[in-house]
Structure 1
Amino acid sequence: MSSELDALRSALAQIENEMRNSPTRYASLLSSLHSSQLESAKNLLNYLILRKTDIQQLQANLHEVGLSSLASCESHVLRQIQVTLARLGVSFAQYDPCTLEFGAEQIRKNAERLFGLHHAEWPSSVMVTFDRSFLNEKKYIEKLLQNGMGVARINCAHDDPDTWKQMVEEIHRTCKKTGLSCALHFDLAGPKIRTVLLRKGKDAGKAEIKVGGRVWLSDSGKGFSSKDVVVSPNEAGLLEHLKVGERIYFDDGLIRARVDRISKKGVALKVERISSKKPLLKNEKGINFPDSVLAISSLTDFDRKCLAMVVKLADTVGFSFVRTPEDLEDLRKELAKLTATPPPVILKIETRDAVVQLPALLLESMKEPCFGVMIARGDLAVEIGFERLVEIQEEISWICEAGHVPVIWATQVLENLHKSGIASRAEITDAGRAAMAECIMINKGEHTLEVLKTLKDIAKRSRALKVKNRLIFRPLRIAENFLEQN
């Protein structure tokens, strides 16, 4: 037993030493951050250090001798290792100040700043997506507030500035009437790349395709016959960045194609899979390029125009399709032109690049006193592959908890219940996981009130059973990538 304990002491001391020296190693990075974010940034870096290597056997050995296996240490990682070492007889003149209580309080304060106080009967905040139809059902807004809505989401990709303003005015009026509060979240539209049929199916708005068949991508549609399925991606300059073998997805991943060849007139795609009920490629459907490096700004000209109104109305701003720290810097510059007190930014993680760059994005965001992250699982699933969504959404959640960053769990929460009035068994389980986040976003649908009632019950039961936790720590490639580059 003595040799086993010696081995544990040695392994933990090595990790503790690397973490204790990390502020010196990353001094230049930490010096640019907001003072209120400093301890959170240190904890994030320490968590990345922990997750760069495989410690699963170390965790098993710790558990076997009755010590902490580090399974719930995201918010206070160095402190947890020091306390565990203390149980092994190692003394410290000073412990790391980032305790479990400190981390939990930081997340709570940041969540309150972003989403306001959540309803007393709810363990987390709830964000409901609005559209113009709500203006015709003013009593409905009152019911939403009374049933748990604490944040109203307005998507700048839909409706128009006049409608947004009307919705905000109606929310304010209803809040005053009921005495209930509601934060306002505006999602910037971002560079949503959509299909525009240029030849076959142009007039009908849809074209029949088949597995093994060909679809062309072209900016102009010139040089093709009326029998060719030709799609413009509605964003100039994309095609020159595509390479043979790269995957292209249409319509939220229902159609998968691959770049087959590239010619002067366009890019030829071979259709590999059609998962929709009918083999149709339609106008105005999303296109995803998960394997391609596209020279396209995450902040579009339309977004820049929207910001003038958004900064006057919004409590938080959602940055859609953010990919790099430079994107975030670009947004901050635009906000600074409009106001000295910009609303906090919510990073919408919905691209492969954003997942890879997540630690860098969080640290760049820490130059401001408060921000959040939305796990936008719709486009994210298409970008990274549906089969990887479970692990990636968990990894995002863990890393955000390490940085004391509030998380919004978004897209298709109780979607079947929302649309049909009946929940599937799988989405009930998913909703239980959603309840671990600081905020849950639900889309618009026919049964929003029923969704809120069901979600409240699930959330209360789930939070009563557990808090965020995980059992074993395999290496995270996200952590390895960041530490190798810094």
Structure 2
Amino acid sequence: MDSQPDLDYIKAQIMHLESSMNEFVDSKASLLKALHEEQVVSARNLLSYLALRNQDIRELQDLLHIYGLSSLASSEGHVLRQVQAIRERLGHIYQKEELDHCTFAFSKLKMGEKSRLLFGQKAEANMPYLMVTFDAEFADDYAKVKSLLQNGMNVARINCAHDDEDTWSRMINQVRIASEQTGIPCKIYMDLAGPKIRTQILGKGRDKGKVKIREGQLIWMIEDDLDVDKSETVISPNESGIIQQLRKGDRVFIDDGAIRCIVEKVKKEKIGLRIVRISSKKDLLKEGKGINFPDSFLQVPSLTDFDRACLPFICENADLVGYSFVKTAGDIAVLRQALQEKSESYPQLIIKIETLEAVENLPSLLLEGMKEQAFGVMIARGDLAVEIGFERLGEIQEEILWICESGHVPVVWATQVLETLHKSGMATRSEITDAGHAAMAECVMINKGDYTIEVMETLRDVIHRTSTHRVKKRFTLRPLKIAQKFLLG
């Protein structure tokens, strides 16, 4: 070893880290008491990790590597015990009762237990669970459903934004019969629709459901069709109360960001949107396309009246329920109460992260979820990418994975996994790379498409090849804004 001053510095920094972790966890004692008893150790580790990631330890990381000591990278699931292990290597002696219970073995065991509670048993230990989105045609196609099971489907996903209870029942029936006859278990996951903020064309093009647009054009957004000028391009967001919450300069994205607008005019009952960019080949604004407001923290209920109407069916038939457009811990409490009113044993919860507000509130969302014995998080990368900016998605999805790992919360990696392969039969190079990253999650969601079996086969092959390499990643551990915001809040 080169110099004693460096070792003294490492010892002091590691001792400071342990102290700051313990102090922060102790400050949240009342919060920990409200959690499910099976979640307390995980919650303590989550809080310890947030305390760690509130600090800049890049220099310390480099020194740990130089001296051949265990680094703090890849220790999310047992972070305090990792710090203690480093101190032990540097000569510190702990009493047995001082050592944290959350070891590497414990964290691996806990994540496995929670994953099985949510997604059931699976045949391949090194493969993530596979969740397959059902199309309406699956309701009457037993052979297709059976084939999906035989090719690795662990969870059947039904989106309540589409079809109806009769179709959902037939889908579920096909899964149950195929599962019984093949002996392959399969969970039923049902996605709540959430607020349907989608384009409704009210002015020009209303009869066709689409209208020609151009860059630089001013279009109008209103909430009802009273006195609409049929010669102008006018749309509605299909949800009340949104217009009043927009401000001049706010960005508005339509159709997964293909149409980008800026709020230019703000009037009492309408908003003027200047189209600044059209990324699609056809300059068309169509009916039913999603609208995102990345600069606006909208006060729109995550649990809609339609969602509430779906809950009795979901409680009776589903194993898992997906919660769309969650923003705050209070949103989770609202759904929990609604579920408890319908059933004593309600489906387990999957929290969908698809807004900037949900990302910023992630620690609070996880701690609220920990009032349940088990729950999961879905990284809904479609809406999330539009909300936070496509260039930030790679960074943010990894931060979500790290933080969820620290709380032993299983993650579903969702949206556009091998999308081009699914639609056309051939994957792009970038999709293959993205599919390899899916191995970092406990479950991978596959959307609808014509080549579902091929997607499952490719995904299995890619993950088998890449999963043995991802542990070799080395992270510098700069501060996470998510952790800083939670500690300051």
SS at match of 1:3: helix
How many Å apart are 1:88 and its aligned residue?
1.0
Given candidates 74, 90, 93, the residue that maps to 2:76 is 74
Report the RMSD for the aligned CA atoms in angstroms: 1.2
How many Å apart are 1:470 and its aligned residue?
4.2
1:413 corresponds to which residue?
Answer: 417
How many Å apart are 1:223 and its aligned residue?
4.8
Contact 2:32 2:40 in 1 (8 A): yes
Given candidates 56, 59, 70, the residue that maps to 1:57 is 59
- Taking structure 1 as the reference length, the TM-score comes to 0.98
2:270 corresponds to which residue?
Answer: 266
Given candidates 427, 434, 445, the residue that maps to 2:431 is 427
Contact 1:195 1:231 in 2 (8 A): yes
SS at match of 2:468: helix
2:230 corresponds to which residue?
Answer: 226
Residue segments in structure 1 that go unaligned for 5+ positions in a row: none
How many Å apart are 1:138 and its aligned residue?
1.4
**2:50 counterpart letter in structure 1:** L
- Which whole-Å CA distance do the structure 2 matches of 1:57 and 1:134 have between them? 55
1:465 corresponds to which residue?
Answer: 469
1:481 corresponds to which residue?
Answer: 485
1:379 corresponds to which residue?
Answer: 383
- Which whole-Å CA distance do the structure 2 matches of 1:470 and 1:250 have between them? 37
- The alignment status of 1:325 with 2:320, answered yes or no, reads no
- The alignment status of 1:3 with 2:35, answered yes or no, reads no
**1:12 counterpart letter in structure 2:** I
- Which whole-Å CA distance do the structure 2 matches of 1:44 and 1:167 have between them? 38
1:13 corresponds to which residue?
Answer: 15
Q: Deviations over 1:191-211 (max 9, x none)?
A: 120001111111111111111
**1:26 counterpart letter in structure 2:** K
Cα gap change, 1:24/1:121 in structure 2, threshold over 3 Å: closer, same or farther? closer
Cα gap change, 1:470/1:109 in structure 2, threshold over 3 Å: closer, same or farther? farther
2:392 corresponds to which residue?
Answer: 388
Of all paired residues, the percent bearing the same amino acid is 52
- The alignment status of 1:123 with 2:153, answered yes or no, reads no
Contact 1:71 1:471 in 2 (8 A): yes
Given candidates 157, 163, 166, the residue that maps to 2:167 is 163
Structure 1 outlier segments of 4+, above 4 Å: none
- The alignment status of 1:47 with 2:49, answered yes or no, reads yes
Given candidates 178, 181, 188, the residue that maps to 1:174 is 178
- Which whole-Å CA distance do the structure 2 matches of 1:279 and 1:153 have between them? 33
1:365 corresponds to which residue?
Answer: 369
- Which whole-Å CA distance do the structure 1 matches of 2:119 and 2:228 have between them? 51
**1:461 counterpart letter in structure 2:** R
Q: Deviations over 1:337-378 (max 9, x none)?
A: 011111110000001110000000000010111000000000
Contact 2:196 2:238 in 1 (8 A): no
- Taking structure 2 as the reference length, the TM-score comes to 0.97
Q: Deviations over 1:270-297 (max 9, x none)?
A: 1111001111111110001111121110
SS at match of 2:224: coil
Cα gap change, 1:218/1:331 in structure 2, threshold over 3 Å: closer, same or farther? same
Q: Deviations over 1:153-179 (max 9, x none)?
A: 000001101111111111100111111
2:244 corresponds to which residue?
Answer: 240
Contact 2:138 2:144 in 1 (8 A): yes
- My pick for the range that moved more, 298-307 or 21-30, is 21-30
**2:282 counterpart letter in structure 1:** K
**2:17 counterpart letter in structure 1:** I
2:38 corresponds to which residue?
Answer: 36
- Which whole-Å CA distance do the structure 1 matches of 2:297 and 2:440 have between them? 33
SS at match of 1:21: helix
- Which whole-Å CA distance do the structure 1 matches of 2:479 and 2:200 have between them? 42
- The alignment status of 1:27 with 2:29, answered yes or no, reads yes
Contact 1:54 1:474 in 2 (8 A): yes
**1:403 counterpart letter in structure 2:** G
Residue segments in structure 2 that go unaligned for 5+ positions in a row: none
